[in-house]
Amino acid sequence: MILFILLVFGLDSNTKQSFLLSFADSLYSVEDYFASATEYERFLYYFPTDSNSDYARLKLCLSYLKANEPTKAEKTFGELEKTFSSYSRNAQLALAKYYIQSNNYYRAKTKITELISYASSDSNEVQKLNRLLGRIALAEFDFQQAENYFTLSSDSIALKEIQNLKRLPRKSPMLASI
């Protein structure tokens, strides 16, 4: 309530913006993700055209992901995606990593593939994204696809490990039943 009174009556517009955004950032830094999401939403409600609105949307998306609210994060990401800012790519990468952690590999691959199509000029970024796709392929036990992705990312260490995995002896299901 005190924050609301200060926002409405006590501070000039620029001070309100910076105060509200720094308050939301401080809540995020102490891992109070629901409260930080509320404050980022408040910032976007009062200052929708501010130069920091894309940053606030990114942090709102990240707050929702940390609070295990992927549906709200996707909605926020959809709003951020319309701006075509660098924050949009960061949010998309955060969503992809969230999907990897929650074993939703199909959605993670979709997001990463979209990022690769946007990042065609930055080879370092493409290599990192291919490494992520390789990790997904490994999690799905698709060693051939993982090898292809790690080849694209020039990750020689991962390629050696995949070769070692391929050489491991495999048990026959027929012999195991005897």
CATH code for the domain of 42? 1.25.40.10
Mark which of 72, 103, 134 sits at the end of a domain.
Answer: 103
User: Is residue 87 domain-shared with residue 131, that is, in the same domain?
Assistant: no
Residue 7 inside a domain? The answer is: no
Query: Is the model more confident about 174 or about 77?
Result: 77
User: Is residue 20 domain-shared with residue 81, that is, in the same domain?
Assistant: yes
Tell me phi and psi for residue 47, to 5 degrees. Answer: -130, 65
Eight-class DSSP state of 177: T
Count of domains forming the chain: 2
Residue 81 inside a domain? The answer is: yes
Q: What is the mean pLDDT of residues 97-117?
A: 88
- For Cα atoms 112, 159, 103, give the angle at the middle one, nearest 5 degrees: 40
- Residue 162: is its pLDDT beyond 80? no
Give one DSSP letter per residue of 20-89, joined into a string. Answer: HHHHHHHHHHTT-HHHHHHHHHHHHHH-TTSTTHHHHHHHHHHHHHHTT-HHHHHHHHHHHHTTT-HHHH
pLDDT category, 121, cuts 50, 70, 90? low
User: Is residue 81 domain-shared with residue 157, that is, in the same domain?
Assistant: no
User: Is residue 79 domain-shared with residue 32, that is, in the same domain?
Assistant: yes
Segments forming the whole domain that contains residue 90: 13-103
| Confidence (pLDDT) at 63 | 92
User: Is residue 152 domain-shared with residue 94, that is, in the same domain?
Assistant: no
Burial class (CB in 10 A: 0-12, 13-18, 19+), 57: buried
User: Is residue 98 domain-shared with residue 161, that is, in the same domain?
Assistant: no
| Confidence (pLDDT) at 94 | 84
User: Is residue 97 domain-shared with residue 152, that is, in the same domain?
Assistant: no
Helix (H, G, I), strand (E, B) or coil at 120: coil
User: What digits encode the pLDDT tens for the residues 10-25?
Assistant: 555 667 778 888 899 9
Residue 113 inside a domain? The answer is: no
Query: Is the model more confident about 81 or about 29?
Result: 29
CA dihedral 12, 76, 91, 38 (to 10 degrees): 50
User: Is residue 43 domain-shared with residue 94, that is, in the same domain?
Assistant: yes
CB distance 20 to 52 below 8 Å: no
**Which amino acid, residue 40?**
Y
pLDDT category, 84, cuts 50, 70, 90? low
Residue 61 inside a domain? The answer is: yes
Residue 178 inside a domain? The answer is: no
In terms of Cα–Cα distance, which of 178, 152, 151 is closest to 163? 151
- Residue 165: is its pLDDT beyond 90? no
Q: What is the mean pLDDT of residues 162-172?
A: 72
CB distance 62 to 91 below 8 Å: yes
pTM of the full structure: 0.68
Q: What is the mean pLDDT of residues 122-145?
A: 85
Q: Which of 12-16, 35-39, 142-146, 160-164 has the lowest mean pLDDT?
A: 12-16
Residue 65 inside a domain? The answer is: yes
